Structure 1
Amino acid sequence: MPLPPTPTAHPGHVVAGSDAPEKRRLRVGFIALTDCAPLVIAVARGYDRKYGLEIVLERQPSWAAVRDKLLSGELDAAHALYGLGYGVQLGVGGPQHDMAMLMSLNQGGQAITLARALAPRVRSGAQLARLVRASAERYTFAHTFPTGSHAMLLYYWLAVHGIDPLRDIRSVVIPPPQMAEHLRRGEVDGYCVGEPWNALAQSQGKGYTIALTSEVWRDHPEKVLACTRDFADRHPHAARALIMALLEACRYLDVPANREEAASWLALPDYVDAPRDVIAARLLPGRDPHAGVPGIRFFADGEANYPYLSDGMWLLTQYRRWGMLRAAPDYAGVARAVNRLDLYREAAAQLGIAAPAGPSRSSMLIDGKVWDGSAPAAYADSFAIHA
Structure 2
Amino acid sequence: MSKTRFAVTRRQFLLGSAAVGGSYLVPGLRNAVWAAGSDAPEKSSVRVGFIPLTDCAPVVMAAVKGFDKKYGLTLQPAKEASWASVRDKLIAGELDAAHALYGMIYGLQLGVAGPQHDMANLMTLNNNGQAITLANQLKAQNVTDAASLQKRIASQAKGSFTFAHTFPTSTHAMWLYYWLANAGIDPFADVRTVVVPPPQMVMNMKMGNMSGFCVGEPWNQRAISDDIGFTVTTTQQIWPDHPEKILATRAQWVQENPHTARALTAAVLEAARWIDASEANRKETAAVLAGRAWINTKVETLEGRMLGQYENGLGQRWQDAHPMRFFNDGAVSFPWLSDGMWFLTQLTRWGLLPQAPDYAAVARQVNRIDLYKQAASAVGGIALPASDMRSSTLFDGKVWDGSNPAAYADSFPIKRSAVRSA
TM-score by length of 1: 0.96
Q: How is 1:88-99 mapped onto 2 (pairs within 5 angstroms)?
A: 88-99=108-119
1:117 maps to 2:112:
no
After TM superposition, give the deviation of residue 328 of structure 1 in Å: 1.3
1:15 maps to 2:14:
yes
Q: How is 1:142-291 mapped onto 2 (pairs within 5 angstroms)?
A: 142-254=164-276, 255-287=278-310, 289=312, 291=318
Q: CA RMSD in A?
A: 1.4
Map of 1:3 onto structure 2? none
Map of 2:31 onto structure 1? none
Map of 2:330 onto structure 1? 302
After TM superposition, give the deviation of residue 325 of structure 1 in Å: 1.5
8 Å Cα contact 1:313/1:331 also seen in 2: yes
Worse overlay, 25-34 or 14-23: 14-23
Worse overlay, 178-187 or 326-335: 326-335
8 Å Cα contact 1:25/1:55 also seen in 2: yes
Tell me the distance in 2 between the aligned counterparts of 1:153 and 1:128.
Answer: 16
The count of residues paired between Structure 1 and Structure 2 equals 379
After TM superposition, give the deviation of residue 327 of structure 1 in Å: 2.2
Look up the equivalent residue of 1:294 and give its one-letter code.
Answer: H
Tell me the distance in 1 between the aligned counterparts of 2:332 and 2:10.
Answer: 24
Look up the equivalent residue of 1:263 and give its one-letter code.
Answer: A
- Deviations along 1:301-333, one digit per CA (max 9) or x if unpaired, are 000000000001000000110011232110000
Look up the equivalent residue of 1:220 and give its one-letter code.
Answer: H
After TM superposition, give the deviation of residue 148 of structure 1 in Å: 0.8
Say if 1:325 and 1:19 are closer, same or farther in 2 by CA, change over 3 A. same
Tell me the distance in 2 between the aligned counterparts of 1:160 and 1:12.
Answer: 51
After TM superposition, give the deviation of residue 206 of structure 1 in Å: 0.6
Map of 1:85 onto structure 2? 105
Higher radius of gyration, 1 or 2: 2
8 Å Cα contact 2:127/2:243 also seen in 1: yes
Tell me the distance in 2 between the aligned counterparts of 1:193 and 1:358.
Answer: 31
Worse overlay, 181-190 or 287-296: 287-296
8 Å Cα contact 1:256/1:285 also seen in 2: no
Worse overlay, 237-246 or 133-142: 133-142
Say if 1:209 and 1:293 are closer, same or farther in 2 by CA, change over 3 A. farther
Map of 2:394 onto structure 1? 365
Map of 2:26 onto structure 1? none
Look up the equivalent residue of 2:51 and give its one-letter code.
Answer: I
8 Å Cα contact 1:288/1:295 also seen in 2: no
Tell me the distance in 1 between the aligned counterparts of 2:323 and 2:152.
Answer: 29
Look up the equivalent residue of 2:58 and give its one-letter code.
Answer: P
The correspondence for 1:313, drawn from 321, 341, 344, is 341
- Deviations along 1:93-138, one digit per CA (max 9) or x if unpaired, are 1111100000000001100001011113111111110111011252
SS at match of 1:368: coil
After TM superposition, give the deviation of residue 287 of structure 1 in Å: 4.1
Worse overlay, 306-315 or 344-353: 344-353
Runs of 5+ in structure 1 lacking a partner? 1-9
Tell me the distance in 1 between the aligned counterparts of 2:390 and 2:205.
Answer: 36
Q: How is 1:323-334 mapped onto 2 (pairs within 5 angstroms)?
A: 323-334=351-362
Percent identity reads 55
8 Å Cα contact 2:164/2:194 also seen in 1: yes
After TM superposition, give the deviation of residue 276 of structure 1 in Å: 1.0
Map of 2:155 onto structure 1? 134
- Deviations along 1:321-347, one digit per CA (max 9) or x if unpaired, are 001123211000000010000000111
Map of 1:382 onto structure 2? 411
Q: Which runs of 4+ in 1 moved over 6 A?
A: none
The correspondence for 1:32, drawn from 52, 73, 83, is 52
Tell me the distance in 2 between the aligned counterparts of 1:184 and 1:13.
Answer: 54
After TM superposition, give the deviation of residue 285 of structure 1 in Å: 3.4
1:71 maps to 2:79:
no
Tell me the distance in 1 between the aligned counterparts of 2:84 and 2:357.
Answer: 24
The correspondence for 1:42, drawn from 49, 62, 66, is 62
8 Å Cα contact 1:115/1:208 also seen in 2: yes
SS at match of 2:326: coil
Runs of 5+ in structure 2 lacking a partner? 1-8, 16-36, 417-422
8 Å Cα contact 2:10/2:71 also seen in 1: no
SS at match of 1:306: coil
